[in-house]
Chains A and B, each alone.
Chain A
Amino acid sequence: MRIMLACCAGMSTSLVVSKMIEAAKAQGKDDYKIWAVDQTEIQPQLGEFDVLLLGPQVRHIQRKVRKIVGDDFPMDIIESVAYGTCNGAAVLKQAENLLGVK
């Protein structure tokens, strides 16, 4: 599974990513690819990711991003509490739920 996170500069989500990778490894999901980018990288990397999560601090770009990725693409805003506490396992779960992965 390829999970891409986007926010402003991809900086804070990079920390979330490192926690998500930790959580994925702990669950034996070594084949997961998880990374963070700046919001302007969404269009150029289209096709490279299976699910897209936006940092809650950029929720205002959701409409714009929806147009880029298409109506049915699995995309969501990272749940605020999980983001604020840098809870990698919770954000990983959110990504898996979007793709219907158990």
Chain B
Amino acid sequence: MDESKYQVAFDLILKAGNAKSSSMMAIDLAKEFDFENAKKNLEEAENEMREAHAIQIGMIQQEAQGNPVELNIILVHAQDHMTMAIMAKEIAEQFVDLYETIQELKNK
């Protein structure tokens, strides 16, 4: 197996996956009203997403230069992870806000 052709896909899965994991953990923490750590996790998600986007931009630029990356099912799956990570982060931000509102209402 030539693993080098999967390298970029694995990098993308790792970064996007880390971002999604951090986003999901942010929701778990917010549920426990631990907003400090929830927001730390959102920041981590942001950082991981930035790296994931950089990998994606790299592939796009490579293609624009006439040297496209080889398309394979793992790379398609990596893009799945990317989409999931983007969604998870946007939703996690909303959830953290919501739990903050819930805490305020509870304390009234």
Binding site for B on A (CB under 8 A): 8-9, 11-12, 15, 18-19, 22, 55-60, 63, 80, 83-86
Contact = CB atoms under 8 A, between A and B. Distances in A.
A58 B10 contact: no
Nearest to A59: B21
Given A12-B74, A60-B21, A85 B10 contact: yes
The B contact surface, by secondary structure, is helix
Given A8-B81, A15-B74, A57 B17 contact: yes
Contacts of A57: 13-14, 16-18, 20-21, 81
A60 B74 CA distance: 21
B14 A84 contact: yes
Contacts, number: 63
A19 B2 CA distance: 11
Interface string B36-65: 000000000000000000000000000000
Interface string B6-24: 1101110110111011101
A58 B73 contact: no
Interface residues of B, number: 25
Interface of B: 1, 3, 6-7, 9-11, 13-14, 16-18, 20-22, 24-25, 28, 73-74, 77-78, 80-81, 84
Contacts of B1: 15, 18-19, 22
B11 A58 contact: no
A55 B20 CA distance: 13
A56 B14 contact: yes
